[in-house]
Amino acid sequence: MKTNRMPTPGLSLGCDYNPEQWSPDVWREDAALMREAGVDLVAVNIFGWSNLEPAPGQYHFDDLDEVVELMHANGIRVNLGTGTSSPPPWLTTLHPEVLPAAADGTLRYPGGRQAWCPSSAVFRDRAYALVRQVAERYGDHPAVALWHVSNELGCHNALCYCEESAEAFRSWLRRRYGKIETLNEAWGTSFWSQRYGDWAEVNPPRLALSLRNPAQIVDFHRFSSDELLDYYRGEAEILRGHSTVPVTTNFMVTAHIRNLDYWSWAPEMDLIANDHYLDHRLGDPVAELSFAADLTRGLAQGRPWMLMEQAAGAVNWQPHNVTKAPGELIRNTLTHVARGADSICFFQWRASAQGAEKFHSALLPHAGTDTVAWREVLKLSATLDRIEEVAGTTVESDVALLFSWESWWSAEGEARPSQAVEYLDQVHAAHRALRELGVTVDVVSPEADLSGYRLVVVPCLYMVGDLAAVRIADYVQGGGHLLVTFFSGIVDERDRIRLGGYPGAFRDVLGVTAEEFVPLKPGDLLNMTNGGTGSLWSERLRTTTASPVVSYVDGPLPGTAALTRNEFGGGVAWYLATSPDPRSMREIMRNVTVNADISRTGPESNGSVEAVRRSGENGSYLFVINHGTEAVEYPVTGFDLVTGEPVESLLRVEGGGVSVVREERA
C-alpha cells in the first residue's frame, strides 16, 4: 500500500450511485435523502463509459458534471469511478477482438459486463483514453475524495484464452523464466511429451481431452492476476498524473472468487477496499464474513480499510436470495468495523428498476422510504455516528493465519488425492475454531514477518516456497508456536512435490513424515482417541521427533497419529493430519492456544458471539456482537458508545445486539 489515506475523516457511510438510470429530478430527491441517511461518500461513474463516450471519441460530461456538483453542494464526497468497467457496445462492434475467449475457444459476448480480454491492446487504448478525459476533468475537483479504478476487476473476465492472451502469456513466461529450458524444468514437461522447443509453442491451458499440466495452470493464474494488475497500473498512473487524491479499486475477498492474488495487488493500492456479500450457499455465512474482514485487514497490513460494497438486504445472484432480518445489517456492519473497516459503503443507493440487478437490494428500496429496510438504514447511520471515535484505531492479535491464493489455485488441481478437500473449507475451519474461542486472528501472507506472533496457524498451505518454509521453521526455532494442518507444504512454487515424505516443507519442524495420503470417501468417519471424529483425510504418518497427541481408533489406520506435537528449537509445532468435527477442532485449537498462552478477546461460543478490540493512541474499544438469540455477558468496564450508557464491570449484550465499549484503563 502506498498511502492508506481514507477518503473522509471518521467512519464514512457510502454507496454506489448510478444516476444514469434516473432522471435529474430524482437526482435531487436522492441528494436530500442521502443527507437524511447520513451518506457522505458516493461512488459514481462506475459503469459510465457508454454514457460518457456514446460514440468513439465523442465525450459528453454534462450529466456527470451535474451529479458531481449536486453531491458537492450537498456536502457529499465523491468516490469517482473511471468508468471503464464495461465497454460500450460500439467498442466490441468495431473491435470484436476485444471479446474474451473461454477455454474451449468459444467467445464470450457482450450483454452482461466485463466482456473484454485483459490483454487486449485495443481495449486498453480506448479505456485509458477515457481515463485521461475523466482524470483531466475532475482531477482537482474538491468533491473528489477517492479514485475508483474500473470495478471488481477480474470478477468474470480474469481468465481469457484468446490468442492475444496467449501472446501476453508467452511474454510473461519469457520474463519469468528467461530460457525455454527453465520453463520446461519448472513445468515438468518431460511428462507426457510436453517439452517445448520454442516460446511460440506455449499456450494457455486451453480445454484438453485429458488432465492438463498443473504447473501451466498455476502459472496461467499468476499471469492472469498480473495482467489485470498491469492494467490497473495503467489507469492509476494516468490518475496520479492529474490528481493527488488516493487511487484504489474494489477487491473481492470472498468465498467464491479467487482469480486475483491480492497479496501482489495490495502494495499498489493507496488504500484497501473490499466488496463483501453474505453468501447463503455456505454453512456459516457470518463466519465467512469475519474471515474475509480479517483477510482484508491483512491486505491493509493492519491499517483501516474500506468496505466498498455490501448489501442492505438480499442480493440477486444466489439461488435463494435471503434478505436481512431487522438488526442483522447493524451486526454485519459492525463486524466489519470491529475488524478494521473505517468506511462502510453499499451497492447501491437506489434499487434499479431495470437490468440484471434489479432484484438486488439497495439503501432505498423499490418500495420507498416507508419501509422497515429504510428505517434500518437510518438506524445503522445513527449507530455509526455514535461510534465514530473508533476511526483510525487498529486491531491487534497474537495469532497469525497464513493465507495463499497460490495454494488455493494449486491445491484444487484437476487430479488430486481427494476432490472433497477444498482449500477454503480448511482455512475456514481453522479460523472458525479460533473465532469460537474468542481469539482474534491476523490473516497474513505466507511470506509475512511472523516475529510478532505467539502462534502461527497454517491450514492446507499446499504450495509453499523455500523462503516461506525457512521463515516458518526459523520462527518456531526462535520460540514460536505453530499449527500446520494436512495437505500443507506438499509442493514448491513450481507445483513440484517436495520429495522424501510429506509434508515435505515441514517434516523437520513438525517431526513427522507421512508415507502416503489416505483420503476418506465422503461420509466416512474415523473415531479418534479424543472422542471426536476425523473425516475427508488421514495419512500413513510416522513421528520422528514429534509425539502423538491424538490417534485414530478405527478405520484404515488404527493407532496412527491424527495430531502430533513437536518441540523444535525454542518453540512448539503441531500437525493435524485429518479434518476433525467442529467440536474436536475447537478442542484441538484450545490446547494449541492455551499451550501458546494466547489471550482471548471475548467469550467462547459456538460462533454466535464475536468480540474484537480496536485500539489507538487514545484508548481501546471492545466490540461485542451477538448474532445469537440469547443474551451474553462479558467482564468489561467502560462506556458503551452504542447505548450511551456506562458499563460497570459486566457488559450484557442482548440477543441480536451489539456493543462498542470504550474501555476504562485499569
- Cβ of residue 303: shortest distance to a copy of itself, in angstroms? 32
DSSP letter at 325 equals P
Ramachandran area for residue 615 (φ above 0: left; ψ -120 to 50: alpha; else beta) = beta
Which is closer to a copy of itself, CB of 255 or CB of 351?
351
* Cα–Cα distance for residue pair 359/339, rounded to 1 Å: 29
Q: Which of 652, 2, 4, 15 shows the shortest CA–CA distance to 345?
A: 15
E strands present in 105-259: 144-148, 247-248, 250-251
- Cβ of residue 56: shortest distance to a copy of itself, in angstroms? 9
Q: Contact with a copy of itself (CB under 8 A): which of 207, 382, 470, 650?
A: 207
DSSP letter at 564 equals E
Check binding of 57 to a copy of itself (CB under 8 A).
Answer: no
Query: Contacts by 597-603 with C-beta closer than 8 Å and gap 24+?
Result: 597/454, 598/398, 598/399, 598/439, 598/454, 598/455, 599/398, 599/439, 600/437, 600/438, 600/439, 601/438, 601/439, 601/440, 602/438, 602/634, 603/438, 603/632, 603/634
Residues in 261-300 that interact with a copy of itself by CB under 8 A = 280
Mask: binding to a copy of itself, 553-582, rule CB under 8 A, as x and -? Answer: ---x--------------------------
- Cβ of residue 436: shortest distance to a copy of itself, in angstroms? 24
Max CA distance (Å), the chain: 75
**Alpha-carbon distances, residue 89 vs 94, 272, 396 (angstroms):** 9, 31, 48
Check binding of 65 to a copy of itself (CB under 8 A).
Answer: no
Q: Is the peptide bond before 285 cis (omega within 30 degrees of 0)?
A: no
Residues in 471-510 that interact with a copy of itself by CB under 8 A = 494-497, 499-502
For 381, residues 6+ apart whose C-beta sits below 8 A from its C-beta are 13, 37, 38, 39
Residues in 603-622 that interact with a copy of itself by CB under 8 A = none
- Cβ of residue 257: shortest distance to a copy of itself, in angstroms? 12
Q: Contact with a copy of itself (CB under 8 A): which of 208, 382, 467, 631?
A: 208
DSSP-derived 3-state class of residue 184: helix
Q: Contact with a copy of itself (CB under 8 A): which of 65, 69, 140, 201?
A: 201
- Cβ of residue 150: shortest distance to a copy of itself, in angstroms? 11
Mask: binding to a copy of itself, 296-335, rule CB under 8 A, as x and -? Answer: -----------------xx-xx-xxxxx-x----------
Check binding of 202 to a copy of itself (CB under 8 A).
Answer: yes
Cβ(225)–Cβ(190) below 8 Å: no
SS3 per-residue string spanning 571-626: EEEEEECCEECHHHHHHHHHHHHHHCCCCCCCCCCCCCEEEEEEEECCEEEEEEEE
Residues in 527-546 that interact with a copy of itself by CB under 8 A = 540
Active-site residue set: 152, 309
Check binding of 415 to a copy of itself (CB under 8 A).
Answer: yes
Check binding of 88 to a copy of itself (CB under 8 A).
Answer: yes
Q: Contact with a copy of itself (CB under 8 A): which of 414, 466, 645, 648?
A: 414
- Cβ of residue 378: shortest distance to a copy of itself, in angstroms? 15
Check binding of 89 to a copy of itself (CB under 8 A).
Answer: yes
Which is closer to a copy of itself, CB of 107 or CB of 121?
107
- Cβ of residue 541: shortest distance to a copy of itself, in angstroms? 11
* Cα–Cα distance for residue pair 659/596, rounded to 1 Å: 29
Q: Contact with a copy of itself (CB under 8 A): which of 15, 30, 37, 48?
A: 48
Residues binding a copy of itself: what is the number (CB under 8 A)?
Answer: 119
User: Candidates 113-121, 229-237, 441-449, 619-627 — which segment interacts with a copy of itself by CB under 8 A?
Assistant: 113-121
Residues in 209-248 that interact with a copy of itself by CB under 8 A = 209-216
Check binding of 182 to a copy of itself (CB under 8 A).
Answer: no
User: Candidates 253-261, 366-374, 442-450, 585-593 — which segment interacts with a copy of itself by CB under 8 A?
Assistant: 366-374
Check binding of 26 to a copy of itself (CB under 8 A).
Answer: no
**Alpha-carbon distances, residue 264 vs 261, 309, 485, 495, 506 (angstroms):** 6, 22, 25, 19, 25
Cβ(592)–Cβ(483) below 8 Å: yes
- Cβ of residue 244: shortest distance to a copy of itself, in angstroms? 28
User: Candidates 3-11, 86-94, 139-147, 422-430 — which segment interacts with a copy of itself by CB under 8 A?
Assistant: 86-94
Q: Contact with a copy of itself (CB under 8 A): which of 79, 157, 332, 397?
A: 157
Q: Which of 252, 312, 260 shows the shortest CA–CA distance to 288?
A: 252
E strands present in 131-249: 144-148, 247-248
